[in-house]
């Protein structure tokens, strides 16, 4: 996968793309990162990328020319039809489902804005996806794009050690993930559930399934509204509802 990021602050990405899984994915040639300062594409001598909004108002608006020219150049160096993603608080609320969708593409271009907003023609004629990572406003789109890129890259084949490492993640199955424990079995009087020490794999899987339902019911019951429960899970859920306030 090829990932291009248009930003006015390329230095923000140095640590993120050169650490942990994102670094390993790059070294394994599963992904390439290209950070572009779109100020370099400005066609005026001052290299300005923003201007006052028509009609007046506070703040500055990003001009279309530098971003259109940057995206056109990147298309010529990669895919002719990449996903062009605008990081924007007005965009689609980001989800694991969206991460899985983006992970199937081979070329993503992220546009990270600053200032008051974007010229609307960028949104209408250039962008394929608008994404928001939550109902709050950040200084710019950089942090949001890092979140999206991290969640996408880890899904690429061969990036994580085991496929199951992400297949059972919270939200990947539609439910929150079950609790995890490791050694020692007894830490300062706090013990690992006996089921996990039993060696009975069928029993363990049933415990994990039930705990996943319990955690989802308690913390994110809204996820259950659109989740297709099996008959077995329906029975588990009815039992759990009697034990959860």
Q: Which residues are annotated as a binding site for S-adenosyl-L-methionine?
A: 113, 133-138
As a whole number of angstroms, the distance between CA 66 and CA 72 comes to 10
214 part of the active site: no
Beta-bridged to residue 111, according to DSSP, are 6, 86
Pairing outcome for strands 50-51 and 61-62 = antiparallel
As a whole number of angstroms, the distance between CA 173 and CA 195 comes to 22
Which residues are known binding-site members? 113, 133-138
Q: What is the Cβ-side half-sphere exposure of residue 73, based on CA atoms within 13 angstroms? A: 16
Structure-block tokens of residue 241: 């509802």
Which of 66, 142, 154, 214 is catalytic? The answer is 154
Which of 100, 169, 177, 209 is catalytic? The answer is 169
Q: Which secondary structure element, helix H or strand E, spans residue 16, and what is its range?
A: helix 14-17
* Owner of token pair 């895919």: 79
Which of 89, 100, 101, 130 is catalytic? The answer is 89
The contacts of residue 77 (CB under 8 Å, 6+ apart) are none
What SS3 class is residue 131? strand
Which of 73, 100, 116, 177 is catalytic? The answer is 116
- CA nearest to 5, candidates 39, 49, 38, 47: 38
222 part of the active site: no
Q: Are 229 and 216 in contact (CB under 8 A)?
A: no
154 part of the active site: yes
The contacts of residue 171 (CB under 8 Å, 6+ apart) are 95, 96, 97
- CA nearest to 99, candidates 31, 147, 55: 147
124 part of the active site: no
Active-site residues, by number, are: 89, 116, 154, 169
């Amino acid at each position: 996968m090829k990932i291009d990021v248009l930003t006015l602050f390329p230095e923000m990405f140095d640590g993120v793309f050169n650490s942990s899984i994102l670094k390993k994915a790059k070294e394994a040639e599963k992904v390439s990162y290209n950070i572009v300062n779109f100020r370099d594409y400005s066609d005026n001598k001052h290299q300005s990328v923003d201007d006052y909004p028509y009609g007046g108002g506070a703040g500055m608006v990003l001009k279309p020319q530098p971003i259109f020219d940057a995206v056109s150049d990147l298309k010529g160096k990669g895919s002719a039809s990449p996903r062009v993603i605008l990081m924007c608080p007005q965009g689609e609320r980001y989800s694991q489902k969206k991460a899985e969708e983006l992970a199937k593409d081979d070329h993503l271009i992220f546009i990270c804005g600053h200032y008051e907003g974007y010229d609307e023609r960028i949104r209408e004629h250039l962008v394929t996806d608008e994404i928001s990572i939550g109902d709050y406003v950040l200084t710019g789109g950089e942090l949001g794009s890092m979140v999206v890129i991290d969640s996408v890259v880890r899904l690429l084949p061969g990036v994580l050690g085991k496929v199951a490492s992400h297949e059972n993640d919270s939200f990947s199955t539609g439910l929150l993930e079950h609790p995890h424990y490791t050694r020692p079995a007894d830490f300062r009087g706090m013990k690992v559930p006996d089921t996990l020490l039993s060696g009975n794999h069928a029993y363990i899987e049933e415990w994990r399934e039930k705990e996943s339902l319990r955690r989802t019911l308690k913390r994110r019951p809204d996820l259950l509204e659109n989740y297709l429960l099996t008959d077995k899970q329906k029975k588990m859920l009815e039992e759990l509802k009697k034990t959860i306030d």
